[in-house]
Structure 1
Amino acid sequence: MATENIDWSQLTTARDRADRLLKPLKELEASWQTAEMAFIADQLIALEDQDPNAQPGTERQWRDYRTQVRRWGEGADGYPAVESRPRRPV
């Protein structure tokens, strides 16, 4: 009876596989977060300048949204599911 040696360095855990599957989603969310923070900054300037093209929402709502976007990451409810992202003021 032939025996084979197990190469334990090739062993992957369920956590390793999950991390590998989630990596692209996490990268997508990091890109979204960066772009959204820039959008929020522009929006706050537009509100400060009383720009008629500003998006709906008050300055307070946009600042609260900025806090939510900043917290969007590991540990946030629903992260990294796109449908769980914080929502812009309306």
Structure 2
Amino acid sequence: MSNIDWSKLRKAADIRAEADAARLSPLIAAEVQWAEQERKFAAEQLEAIEDGEECVGTERQWRDYRTQVRAWKLDAEGYPDSSLRPERPS
């Protein structure tokens, strides 16, 4: 007869959640890096506009884009699917 340590029992839902977290972890890391790069790029575009340089998009479009990029995080709809990222002004 063997003793079962019931405190170590894992539920199927917990196992699935752990597997999902492991699968999503590299995707989330890539999205965090992308968002950091995009925030820097948007700041550069806004600075160029302030300096009177010719840029694609308006100041308003770049400010809106920056806001959308900041909102692209774990609780955003579709996150971390890179195909659903905010799009740069064109």
Equivalent residue number for residue 64 of structure 2: 64
Q: Of Structure 1 and Structure 2, which has the larger fraction of its residues in helix? A: 2
Q: Aligned residues: percent identity?
A: 42
CA offset digits 1:24-59 (Å, max 9, x no partner): 00000000000110000000001111113x2x1110
d(CA) in 2 for partners of 1:4 and 1:25? Answer: 41
Q: CA deviation at 1:71?
A: 0.5
| RMSD, aligned CA | 1.8
Aligned residues: 86
Alignment TM-score, normalising by the size of structure 1: 0.84
Equivalent residue number for residue 15 of structure 1: 17
5+ residue gaps, structure 1: none
Equivalent residue number for residue 46 of structure 2: 44
Q: Which runs of 4+ in 1 moved over 6 A?
A: none
Alignment TM-score, normalising by the size of structure 2: 0.84
5+ residue gaps, structure 2: none
